[in-house]
């Protein structure tokens, strides 16, 4: 089978996020399929973007043919990003001749977070007789309206809404990463039988291989905390508004008399504000460290006693959440403290930790105390349950097979 995967932000191990297209495509290639990924050369998500001398460049990565499309850089979510989006869509249409004449796909996947790529994907699928798949990461334009505060009457939002509805109508299969979005998608014109849930996952081989060592600063901090016999609650990931780390710091303020330490590893737009909050509260039980390489994350998580993930109290989460960080946490075999209000809760479902409400510092502090009061064996059983849950449901080898089995 020939699979054309259109994802504006697709990354790879050598470029950085996002990884889902790479992991799925790699498994399909291993199964004997041909896969081509079309992506923009510039993405704010990647650690390293390719450099193009022409409008297009092809590159082989682990048997996957990547076609990079030249697009302008952008900052934030303003006009420059909109220009970047439309330049990419134009580049995809410019490639359509290749897929109509040289390499005719059997499946075309539109997967760029925003729904506008459903249009060139549908054009290529119709001309080649391929099956069309609309892969939904987040609900656009609902996310920029409910989370970003944009008016539903804004011309760009209206265009996104048209494109989303178009995708639901035209696609042969709608692959949703959100487990609770069926009713919403049906309300936008999708036939229920098109709906297939394929969540994010984890590359199990990365956890079974050799672990990269931690930087010296991280090793030294962990050693000092262990010497003080602190119960270490770790967080590894972005320090942004969505991560609700300000409530974790408020919880730390309530825990200042406990022998508990919070270790926050990562970077992000809100890190400076969090540092200032910790300084204002005079928190000596919170320790910030820089982000580390992806392959060093297992070594970091292994040194923690429990792990934390939190969310804002946002209506958009009623459709479900699907965080990559959660899979790393569970693969580490550590119990998880989950602060959440959403349509699903993997920690509760797996029996992998303690769940409390979102944006509730007192409840977070209480959950941390309860976790610290458990015996190592009790926490170990929680961690083992989480790992078993991920291996059964979120291994990319399993998800890649389910994805193709779900095509209609």
Q: What is the pLDDT of residues 183-205, one digit of tens each?
A: 999 999 999 999 999 999 999 98
CA distances to 36, 185, 195, 258 from 99, in Å: 10, 29, 26, 62
162 plus 294 within the same structural domain: no
206-209 — which CB contacts under 8 Å span 24+ positions? Answer: 206/294, 206/295, 206/298, 207/298, 207/331
Q: Could you tell me the two tokens for 247?
A: 């409530």
Question: Which of 198, 218, 243 is where one domain is finished?
Answer: 198
Residues 83 and 132 in one domain: yes
Q: Are residues 217 and 191 in the same domain?
A: no
Q: Which of 252, 396, 266, 279 is nearest to 337 (CA)?
A: 252
Query: Among residues 154, 177, 198, which one ends one of the domains?
Result: 198
Question: Between residues 322 and 68, which one has the greater pLDDT?
Answer: 68
- 150 in any annotated domain: yes
Count H helices and E strands in the chain, helices first: 16, 14
Q: Is 49 among the domain residues?
A: yes
Pair (188, 248) in one structural domain: no
What percent of the residues of the chain are helix, what percent strand, and what percent coil, each to the nearest 5?
45, 20, 35
The domain total for the chain is 2
Domain boundary among 177, 198, 219: 198
Structural domain including 275 reads 205-393
User: Over 80: is that where the pLDDT of 408 sits?
Assistant: no
The answer to whether residues 141 and 267 belong to one domain is no
**Which CATH number is 352's domain given?**
3.40.50.2000
Of 49-58, 206-215, 398-407, least confident by mean pLDDT is: 206-215
Residues 249 and 232 in one domain: yes
SS3 336: strand
pLDDT recorded at residue 212: 86
Residue 400 lies in a domain: no
Half-sphere exposure of 209 (CA within 13 A, CB side): 10
408 is a domain residue:
no
The reply to whether 260 and 241 lie within a common domain is yes
Q: Phi/psi of residue 315, each to 5°?
A: -60, -30
Q: Which residues contact 64 (CB under 8 A, 6 or more apart)?
A: 22, 25, 26, 29, 35, 36, 37
The model's confidence at residue 207, banded by pLDDT at 50, 70 and 90, is confident
Per-residue pLDDT for 383 more than 80? yes
Is 346 a member of any domain?
Answer: yes
User: What span, in angstroms and rounded, lies between the C-alpha atoms of 205 and 62?
Assistant: 15
- For 124-172, the pLDDT digits (tens) are 999 999 999 999 999 999 999 998 899 999 999 999 999 999 999 999 9
Q: Is the pLDDT of residue 16 over 90?
A: no
* Summary mean pLDDT of the chain: 96
How far is C-alpha 118 from the geometric centre of its chain's CA atoms? 21
Asked if residue 278 and residue 358 are part of one domain, the reply reads: yes
Residues with Cβ within 8 Å of 367's Cβ and at least 6 positions away in sequence, in order, are 337, 339, 354, 355, 356
The pairs formed by 152-161 with CB atoms below 8 angstroms and a separation of 24 or more are 156/82, 159/116, 160/114, 160/115, 160/116
Residue 224 domain flag = yes
- What's the pLDDT at 225? 98
Answer whether residue 402 is part of any domain: no
What distance in Å separates the CA atoms of residue 318 and residue 179, rounded to the nearest whole number?
A: 10
User: Residue 210: is its pLDDT beyond 80?
Assistant: no
Residue whose C-alpha is closest to residue 130's, from 121, 142, 140, 139 = 121
Query: Within a domain: residue 12?
Result: yes
Same domain, 89 and 157: yes
pLDDT tens, position by position, 299-351 = 999 999 999 999 999 999 999 998 989 999 999 999 999 999 999 999 999 99
pLDDT at 59: 97
Question: Other C-beta atoms within 10 Å of 192: how many?
Answer: 10
- Band (249; pLDDT cuts 50, 70, 90): very high
Task: Count other C-beta atoms under 10 Å from residue 208's C-beta.
Answer: 9
Q: Mark whether 163 and 238 lie in a shared domain.
A: no
On whether the CB atoms of residues 339 and 364 are closer than 8 A, the answer is yes
Q: Are residues 216 and 108 in the same domain?
A: no
Let me know whether 53 and 123 are in one domain. yes
């Amino acid at each position: 089978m020939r699979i054309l995967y259109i994802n504006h932000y697709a990354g790879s191990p050598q470029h950085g996020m996002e990884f889902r297209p790479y992991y799925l495509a790699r498994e399909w290639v291993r199964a004997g399929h041909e896969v081509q990924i079309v992506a923009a050369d510039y993405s704010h998500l990647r650690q390293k973007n390719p450099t193009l001398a022409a409008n297009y460049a092809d590159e082989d990565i682990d048997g996957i043919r990547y076609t990079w499309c030249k697009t302008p850089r952008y900052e934030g979510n303003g006009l420059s990003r909109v220009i970047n989006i439309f330049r990419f869509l134009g580049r995809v249409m410019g490639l359509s001749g290749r897929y109509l004449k040289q390499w005719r796909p059997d499946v075309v996947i539109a997967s760029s977070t925003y729904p506008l790529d459903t249009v060139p994907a549908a054009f290529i699928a119709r001309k080649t007789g391929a099956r069309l798949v609309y892969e939904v990461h987040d609900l656009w334009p609902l996310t920029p309206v409910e989370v970003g505060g944009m008016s539903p009457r804004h011309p760009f939002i209206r265009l996104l809404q048209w494109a989303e509805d178009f995708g639901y109508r035209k696609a042969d299969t709608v692959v949703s990463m959100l487990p609770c979005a069926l009713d919403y998608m049906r309300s936008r014109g999708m036939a229920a039988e098109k709906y297939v849930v394929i969540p994010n996952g984890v590359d199990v081989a990365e956890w079974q291989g050799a672990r990269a060592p931690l930087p010296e600063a991280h090793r030294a901090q962990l050693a000092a905390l262990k010497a003080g016999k602190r119960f270490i609650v770790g967080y590894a990931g972005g320090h942004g508004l969505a991560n609700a780390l300000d409530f974790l710091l408020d919880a730390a303020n309530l825990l200042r008399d406990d022998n508990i330490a919070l270790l926050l590893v990562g970077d992000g737009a809100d890190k400076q504000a969090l540092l200032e909050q910790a300084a204002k509260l005079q928190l000596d039980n919170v320790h910030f460290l820089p982000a580390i390489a992806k392959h060093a994350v297992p070594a970091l998580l292994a040194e923690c006693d429990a792990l934390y993930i939190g969310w804002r109290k946002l209506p958009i989460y009623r459709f479900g959440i699907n965080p990559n960080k959660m899979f790393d946490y569970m693969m580490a075999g550590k119990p998880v403290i989950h602060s959440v209000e959403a349509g699903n809760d993997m920690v509760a479902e797996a029996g992998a930790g303690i769940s409390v409400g979102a944006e509730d510092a007192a409840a977070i502090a209480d959950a941390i105390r309860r976790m610290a009061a458990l015996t190592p064996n009790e926490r170990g059983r929680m961690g083992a349950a989480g790992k078993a849950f991920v291996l059964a449901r979120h291994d990319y080898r399993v998800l890649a097979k389910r994805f193709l089995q779900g095509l209609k």
